[in-house]
Chains A and B, each alone.
Chain A
Amino acid sequence: MAGNQSKHIWALVKKDFLLEVRQQYTFYGILLYVASTIFVLYMAMGEGPEEKVWNGLFWMIQLFICINAVAKSFLQESRGRMLYFYTIAGARDFVLAKLIFNLVLMMLMSLVSLLLFQLFLGNPVHNPLKFIGIVCLGGCSLSLVFTFLAAIAARAQQNAALMAIMGFPLIIPQILLLMRISNAAFADVIQAGLTSIVLMLIGLDIMVVALAVILFPFLWKD
């Protein structure tokens, strides 16, 4: 049964990737969104804001990118197609596949935006390897929460605005923890309690996945 389930999930993830490759406009659309947002930011800020400002701007931009990248993931599926997936794979497999796909997509976008930030807004990061790790972790955390909220918003037939008002208060713990650990990458000194914060973040992510798996079947039952 477990093997069967993972096969289903894999097939659904592959379907999403294939769709992304075939209809390239969505992928490039998000990429362009990332690039133009950061470019506008650069025009508004000028080069090289302070470390703290850089950090805050970086994570805020991640939030907006995440909303745009993830919002369409449930909206693009038509009602008939949902019913089809529901009968062949089950709701749990479906939501896990979406979570995995969005996680990979968001991680990629986070890395691209990090690169662009370095290019346009200077490089205050002292510890690049650590910061890349933090960015990946942050991309994961954001994408998990927003994927589930996208499912809710899609069910309510609403746009990204509803996702934002639902998501911003809920994302605060993750954002605060991320800001805290990314400060570690700006300083040469090793901060105490860093591992516990990282573990807390991973714990939150696991909880979000668990909630999504438990609650999603109720959301899509018709």
Chain B
Amino acid sequence: MRQYWWKILCIVLLLYTFTAGFLVKVPEIGNLYQTIRNLFFHVPMWFAQLVLITISLVYSIMYLRNPQAKYDLYALQFVQTGTVLGCLGLVTGMIWANYTWGTPWNNDPKQLGVAIALLIYLAYFVLRNSMTDLDKRGRVAAVYNIFAYFIYIPMILILPRLVESLHPGGKGVEGNPGLNGGDLDPTMRLVFWPAVLGWTLLGVWITTLYLRMKALEEKKHAH
């Protein structure tokens, strides 16, 4: 029970997201109509991506302080899952944008933010694959991961001030680049935050499965 309580929590939260997310009464804002329900799927994926790349950053720092192969593997797998969630967040956002803003791509700062994150982390994979020496690969990849993260975070804070946005809050929204909390109805908030937690836990779960699979593969090769 100690081991997998959070997996049960994840399933419960996502079931709740999928049922309440489709059934709860939503406010009518502008031309959003029922598409506002996408908020429970699109935005939390984004949040989960940020959480996962932050976990990856922590493992990269741990790797530099104490170079153990497993930390490097953790960092890689968390980025991988984060990138998948980022892609999903981008696609769900583009479908939503197609119906509410008219075109899938609107040069919106948050769209740009996800696109840049994808480019940064795809470059991370290319960089890793260009090296064969395990120790060197771990170190160089960790250094790039840390460097990229600390440029990426200021970037998503700066971008909304420079580019016009269609997201709630619009241009120059202070501080919070992902979401304007004021627009959230209290009932929606009751679904939204559990959804964020649920999607994040799902990301972590997928990552741990991958890690166990990798460990088994290594065991097989060791024999």
A: residues with CB less than 8 A from B are 145, 148, 152, 155-158, 162, 165-166, 168-170, 172-173, 176-177, 180, 200, 204, 207-208, 211, 215, 218-219, 221
Contacts and interface: CB of A to CB of B under 8 A. Distances in A.
Contacts of B179: none
Contacts of B112: 172
Interface string B60-80: 000010000000000000000
Contacts of B159: 173, 176
B147 interface: yes
Considering the complex of A and B, which 4 residue pairs feature the smallest CB-CB distances, nearest first?
A169-B119, A173-B155, A169-B120, A166-B123
A172 B159 CA distance: 9
Contacts, number: 74
Interface string B140-163: 101110111011101100110011
A98 B111 CA distance: 35
B62 to A, nearest CB: 12
Most B-side CB within 10 Å, residue of A145, A148, A169, A221: A169
Interface residues of B, number: 29
23 contacts: A148-B147, A152-B143, A152-B147, A155-B136, A156-B130, A156-B140, A157-B130, A158-B130, A165-B119, A165-B123, A166-B127, A166-B148, A168-B119, A170-B148, A170-B152, A173-B158, A176-B162, A177-B162, A180-B162, A208-B151, A211-B147, A215-B143, A218-B142
Contacts of A219: 139-140, 143
A211 B152 CA distance: 13
Contacts of B158: 173, 176-177, 200
Contacts of B151: 145, 170, 173, 204, 207-208
Contacts of B116: 169, 172
Instruction: Report whether over half of chain A's contact residues are helix, strand or loop; otherwise say mixed.
Output: helix
B131 interface: yes
Most B-side CB within 10 Å, residue of A162, A170, A200, A207: A170
A220 B124 CA distance: 19
Contacts of B123: 165-166, 169
Contacts of A204: 151, 154
Contacts of B152: 170
A20 to B, nearest CB: 27
Contacts of A169: 116, 119-120, 123
Nearest to B162: A176
Nearest to A200: B158
Contacts of A208: 151
